[in-house]
C-alpha cells in the first residue's frame, strides 16, 4: 500500500442520522491532509472511527504501521492504536497543568516503556536507564521544535499557543506514522495560528510522518495541507489540492449556501 491510511466505504449512524455515509479517501505517506466541512458534517466522527472511539457500521480503515505492515484498524482496540504508530490530539488541550512541559512529554511515552510497573515503581536500574533515554528523547524533540527553553516550565503557566505546540511535540514521543489533529487552531489568535502552521510543517519535515487535520480555519488548511477532502452530511463533496477545493462549486455551496439561498 502506497498510502499510510486508506478509508473505504466508511459509514456510521446515530439513531436515524447517518453521521458518516460511505466515505472513502486515502492519505499518502508523509502528506499533510485536511478534512473539512461545515459544522456537523461528520469530521470528528471520522476521527473517532479511525481511532476506534466509535465502531463504524460499515467500512474498512487500512493503516501502514511503524513496521510498514498494513493492518485493518477495525481489528484493534482503542488503546492498541498508538502502538501501531497512529496518534491523535483533541480539540481541547489535554496536558496535565501541574506538571512541567518535559514531564508531559514523558507521560506521552508511557506506552513505549519496556520495564515492568514494579521495576518502575522501585526505580530499578533498567527503569532508571529507560527513564533517562526517554528524557533525552523528549529533550531532543523539544529542541527540534524550538521549545527547549520551555522544558522545565509548568504547563499551566504557559500561553495556549505554546501548549498547542507542546501537545503536538508530545505525539512525537510514540514515533507516529500518522498524527491526527482535531481543530488545532481553535482558541488561537492569528499570530499563534501562523506559528502553528510552521510547527505542523516542521514536524512533518523533521519526523517524516503524515498528518491528518480537521480545521475550520481555512487559511491554515489552505496554507498547510497538500490535499483536502471536503465532506457534508457525512458524504464526500470533493477531494483535491487546495486550489481545486477552493474552486469547487459543491464546496462553495456547502459553506456559503446556494446563490438562491444567499440572495
Ligand X SMILES: Nc1ncnc2c1ncn2[C@@H]1O[C@H](COP(=O)(O)OP(=O)(O)OP(=O)(O)O)[C@@H](O)[C@H]1O
Binding footprint of ligand X on the chain (CB under 6 A):
14, 17, 19, 37, 39-45
**Of 40 and 156, CB closest to ligand X:** 40
Burial of 259: CB neighbours in 10 Å, binned 0-12, 13-18, 19+: exposed
**Residue 48 or 224 having the CB closest to ligand X:** 48
Angle subtended at Cα 114 by Cα 108 and Cα 119, rounded to the nearest 5 degrees: 100
Quick one: 130 or 167, whose CB is closer to ligand X? 167
Query: Which sign, positive or negative, has the C-alpha torsion 204, 207, 210, 216?
Result: negative
How many Å apart are CA 241 and CA 237, to the nearest integer?
14
Residue 72: CB atoms within 10 A of its CB come to: 10
Nearest distance from residue 202's CB to ligand X, in Å?
A: 26
Q: Are 169 and 176 in contact (CB under 8 A)?
A: no
As measured in angstroms, the least distance from the Cβ of 12 to ligand X is: 8
To ligand X, the closest distance from the beta carbon of 228 in angstroms equals 14
Q: Report in angstroms how near the CB of residue 191 gets to ligand X at its nearest.
A: 24
In whole angstroms, the minimum distance from the beta carbon of 17 to ligand X comes to 6
3 vs 44, which CB is nearer to ligand X? Answer: 44
Instruction: Please give the Cα distance from 41 to 159 (Å, whole number).
Output: 30
Please give the biggest Cα pair distance in the chain: 72
Question: Rg of the Cα trace of the chain?
Answer: 19
Tell me how far apart the alpha carbons of residues 68 and 71 are, in angstroms, rounded to a whole number.
9
Between 42 and 108, name the residue whose CB sits nearer to ligand X. Answer: 42
Distance (Å, rounded) from C-alpha 27 to C-alpha 227? 8
Q: By C-beta, is 34 or 42 nearer to ligand X?
A: 42
From the CB of 234, what's the least distance to ligand X, in Å?
A: 7
Amino acid at each position: 500500500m502506497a498510502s499510510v491510511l486508506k478509508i473505504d466505504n466508511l459509514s456510521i449512524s446515530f439513531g436515524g442520522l447517518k453521521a458518516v455515509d460511505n466515505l472513502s479517501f486515502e492519505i499518502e505517506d508523509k502528506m499533510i491532509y485536511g478534512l473539512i466541512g461545515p459544522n456537523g458534517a461528520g469530521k470528528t466522527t471520522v476521527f473517532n472511527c479511525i481511532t476506534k472511539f466509535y465502531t463504524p457500521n460499515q467500512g474498512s480503515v487500512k493503516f501502514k504501521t511503524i513496521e510498514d505492515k498494513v493492518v485493518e484498524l477495525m481489528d484493534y482496540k482503542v488503546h492498541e492504536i498508538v502502538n501501531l504508530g497512529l496518534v491523535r490530539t483533541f480539540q481541547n488541550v489535554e496536558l496535565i497543568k501541574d506538571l512541567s512541559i518535559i514531564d508531559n512529554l514523558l507521560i506521552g511515552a508511557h506506552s513505549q516503556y519496556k520495564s515492568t510497573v514494579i521495576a518502575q515503581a522501585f526505580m530499578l536500574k533498567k527503569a532508571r536507564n529507560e527513564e533517562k533515554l526517554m528524557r533525552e528523547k523528549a529533550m531532543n524533540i523539544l529542541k527540534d521544535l524550538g521549545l527547549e527553553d520551555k522544558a522545565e516550565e509548568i504547563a499551566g503557566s504557559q500561553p495556549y499557543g505554546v501548549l498547542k505546540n507542546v501537545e503536538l511535540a508530545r505525539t512525537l514521543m510514540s514515533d507516529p506514522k500518522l498524527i491526527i489533529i482535531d481543530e488545532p487552531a481553535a482558541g488561537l489568535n492569528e499570530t499563534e495560528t501562523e506559528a502553528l502552521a510552521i510547527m505542523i510543517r516542521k514536524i512533518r519535515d523533521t519526523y517524516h510522518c503524515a498528518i491528518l487535520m480537521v480545521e475550520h480555519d481555512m487559511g491554515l488548511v489552505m496554507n498547510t495541507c497538500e490535499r483536502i477532502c471536503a465532506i457534508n452530511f457525512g458524504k464526500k463533496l470533493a477531494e483535491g489540492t487546495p486550489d481545486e477545493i477552493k474552486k469547487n462549486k459543491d464546496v462553495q455551496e456547502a459553506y456559503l449556501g446556494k446563490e438562491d439561498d444567499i440572495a
